[in-house]
Structure 1
């Protein structure tokens, strides 16, 4: 069985090549998937199933074109992995760029992601 770090890195590599099906294969059927921020974000801020996470990715893609997605550091704490990174998006609604550093907190159990929590500059996103 893959280590938690290997599972997380595989999911991020799949996202980086826009292979959402491969990302979803890394996620448990029941999951705690959250974006810490207001409900006014144009994508779900809480998902509880792999299928809901699939809808989350569709909404994120509709929100804008991700031009830079950089997981920069992976911090290993056994079943918990913290990922630090950066994103730049051209927003669909306004055509304006938005960028932010982000933090993702992941938990892997039995070879699958069971928790993913994202923190980023939601205020800057909502005003872009």
Structure 2
């Protein structure tokens, strides 16, 4: 697949997430997708493997985190690797605490499907937002 096709596949994936279109986004990922969300102390951290785990973490995200993306992300690609660079703001619903997260997703596309996603995020900001009010950051 061409670099341009890989970028379009990733853009289609993000658009499906934005629309909440579970079927479309699952159609864009490999059966053995791996999504790594770093950190501890916040609801989405961990390594999620396969379409079922991907669907579960996205469902959990919609239930536990309110997120907005104030600017469109930037896409940088070479071969089968697409970096998506952006900013997210929002809050953890359980604590009602806000966060500001500058992030990069490193995505590998194989045979027209997302094979691996590795997030580089502000884990400290997200973990702090997930802590109850009386906890120290």
Compute the TM-score of the two structures, normalised by the length of structure 1.
0.89
TM-score, normalised via structure 2 length: 0.84
Structure 1 residue 69 displacement after superposition: 6.0
Task: Determine the C-alpha separation between the residues in 2 that align with 1:79 and 1:41.
Answer: 30
Q: Closer, same or farther in 2 for the Cα pair 1:70/1:23, shift >3 Å? A: farther
Summarize deviations over 1:56-80 as a string: whole Å, max 9, x none: 1011112222233644210011110
In structure 2, what is the Cα distance between the partners aligned to 1:47 and 1:15? 16
Work out the CA distance in 2 between the residues paired with 1:54 and 1:43: 12
Give structure 2 stretches of 5+ with no counterpart.
Answer: 130-137
Gaps of 5+ in 1: none
Distance 1:69 1:10, change over 3 A: farther
Between the two proteins, the alignment pairs up a number of residues equal to 127
Structure 1 runs (4+) deviating above 4 angstroms are none
Q: Who is 1:87 aligned against?
A: 88
- Give yes or no for contact 1:35–1:45 (8 Å, CA) kept in 2: yes
1:4-19 correspondence to structure 2 within 5 Å: 4-19=6-21
Larger radius of gyration: 2
State the alpha-carbon separation in 1 of the partners of residues 88 and 110 from structure 2: 27
From 3, 9, 26, the counterpart of 1:24:
26
Q: How far apart are residue 21 of structure 1 and its match?
A: 2.5
Higher mean alpha-carbon deviation, 91-100 vs 46-55, is at 91-100
